[in-house]
Amino acid sequence: MLIPHDTRIALDTVVDLVNTAPESGQDDRLTDVAALYDFVRSHKVSGVGELTQRDIKAVQAIRTLFAQVFAAPDSKTAAEVINRLVAAAGTTPQLTDHDGYDWHVHYFAPGASVADHLAADCGMALAFIVVAGEQERLRRCEAPDCGRAFVDLSRNRSRRYCDSRTCGNRLHVAAYRARRKEAAG
């Protein structure tokens, strides 16, 4: 699956945003303005001004909607949620070439809040996945004690864990030990 650079960045951002929620097997990681600033900085979200408690609440609300997209049982349900996100953000597609990146499309309106920025750009990235008929690539980790979201970009859509080095390896080692214990009798 060929994914443009800006869409890939938006997909990575939406995955990381969804994974800040408690449903991902950890404490909420977006509870204060400093945490939101850290998220915005680490994902190089452009055009963000001063952030407030209102921004945290708005980002938490869209995070919940993004999580619904990952949990959607079918593309119709995913599309309904994505359409709500993108419409509420007041998308204004525009070409831009900022910060050393080649031309790409931003979908948020100039001066948009951080929540509208994320809803528009990340919502459109998820829309491209659904339009391509690839909604099943939006997954949650199958490790029993995890729940992190990820986008399966493997060629054969076979990825089961958010990280094969942690969740996948841990489960494989546990299964190996159980087989050895059973064989030893």
What pLDDT, in 10s, does the model give residues 56-104? 999 999 999 999 999 999 999 999 999 999 999 988 888 888 777 788 7
Does residue 1 have a pLDDT over 80?
A: no
Give percent of the chain above pLDDT 90. 56
Average pLDDT across the chain, whole number: 88
> Which three-class secondary structure string do you get for the chain?
CCCCHHHHHHHHHHHHHHCCCHHHCCCCCCCCHHHHHHHHHHCCCCCCCCCCHHHHHHHHHHHHHHHHHHHCCCHHHHHHHHHHHHHHHCCCCEEECCCCCCCEEECCCCCCCHHHHHHHHHHHHHHHHHHCCCHHHEEECCCCCCCCEEECCCCCCCCCCCCHHHHHHHHHHHHHHHHHHHHHC
Of residues 9 and 26, the one with the higher pLDDT is 9
What pLDDT, in 10s, does the model give residues 17-36? 999 998 877 789 999 999 99
Q: What pTM, to 2 d.p., does this model score?
A: 0.86
